[in-house]
Amino acid sequence: MSTGVEIAPRATRTRPDLILVFAVGALSMLGLLMLYTITAPKLEAAGLSRTTNVTRQAVFAAVGFAAFLGMSFISDRTWRLLTPIVYGGSLALLIMVLSPLGSSRQGAQRWIDLGPIDIQPSEFAKLAVILALGLLLATVEENRMKWLRIAKTFAIVSVPSAFIFLQPDLGTMLAFGFVAVVMLFAAGTTVRQLGLLLLIAVVALLIAFELDILKEYQLDRITGFLNAGEQTLDINYNQNQSQIAIGNGGLFGAGLFEGTQTNLAFVPAQTTDFVFTAVGEQLGFAGGVLTLGLFLLIIWRLLIIGASARDGFGRMVATGTAALIGFHVFVNVGMVVGLLPVTGLPLPFMSEGGSFYLAMSAAMGISHAIWLRRSRVPGERHLL
């Protein structure tokens, strides 16, 4: 006999998302291979072990994989409870960066030196912002986004952005903004509201130009991009060399260790921001398409995870993570091929560095936890 009470579908532990795991693993292995081809000749010429850099990055990858597994075992509802602590902790680390505990490189103060390793808190702040916005936007009623909630979204993004601006790190600030807009849209923000937010952003950018808020090197990157055919030996040197490397690859690439731009170290920051040039030169257009295809697989799986999440928090977090990955890939590859100005955003799972790899692995792990505990009935979610 019916009692008239509807019981929400229970969440269930399911099989791992093998497609997501495969795509992340494949990109990680490809990143290690590219790092080895970039650094081995130079290390050998210096009388050092050819595997120094790749071994270090492999350790980061192993720690990242452990983080992925660890995050997967923690319930997404536990992450909901931990979000204020994670967000507050990320702000504390950003403050530490600007204190005497922070370390500087090339005019930027973005790291905390821990002896044999250092951490870059801004990378973990990206995940913290996604969790905080997920918590805020989880309970939005359909098609009823209030301006007060949009203002709270702006506040959540603005506080870490203010600290990151002082480092400075314009790329991370742009990532915050893009992720926030995507999550607002997914939560039900109207086109009119988004249009007004875009107008405010444009006005703020114009004010920044007028007040000379941007650093000189940031302005140089923008003006260099707008005058791409000029100053190829200074302001536009990085992009000029990266485009030569991409062009050398042709359809199927010059082969591993055969790229002249890569072997002769013509491309600056090739192990970090410009690692995609090694793919383009050595594996060609085909290798580039394969790499982008793996990223698309990750974004697709994250959107599927969001669609099948058992509550609004899971849906928002998976969507925000997809937006973060998509933004990094779009801006990084666009920068490498000359479609966008240089911003210093690394390529997920492929660029050298421990903080970024660990932060991205943690984001994947939390999204995977959402997948493992998704609703048994697609499209239905638990009320909170």
d(CA 245, CA 170): 26
At residue 330, the pLDDT reads 95
SS3 content of the chain, % helix, strand, coil (to 5): 65, 5, 30
At residue 226, the pLDDT reads 54
Query: What is the CB neighbour count within 10 angstroms for residue 259?
Result: 25
At residue 21, the pLDDT reads 95
pLDDT < 70 regions, the chain: 1-13, 106-107, 141-143, 208-236, 375-384
- Which residue, 306, 344, 296, is CA-closest to 175? 344
At residue 113, the pLDDT reads 78
At residue 89, the pLDDT reads 94
At residue 12, the pLDDT reads 52
- Which residue, 251, 279, 261, 256, is CA-closest to 350? 279
pLDDT in tens, 52-87: 999 999 999 999 999 999 999 999 889 999 999 999
At residue 211, the pLDDT reads 62
At residue 68, the pLDDT reads 96
d(CA 171, CA 275): 17
d(CA 226, CA 215): 17
Q: Report whether 166 contacts 97 (CB < 8 A).
A: no
pLDDT in tens, 216-262: 555 555 655 556 555 555 566 777 888 888 888 889 989 898 888 88
At residue 4, the pLDDT reads 46
pLDDT in tens, 162-187: 888 887 778 888 899 999 999 999 98
Mean pLDDT across the chain = 85
- For residue 109, list its beta bridge partners: 104
Structure tokens at 179: 């992720």
Question: pTM for the whole thing?
Answer: 0.89
d(CA 184, CA 150): 8
At residue 28, the pLDDT reads 97
d(CA 183, CA 378): 21
DSSP helix/strand/coil, 301:
helix
* Every domain of the chain and the residues it spans: 28-372
Structure tokens at 133: 């916005």
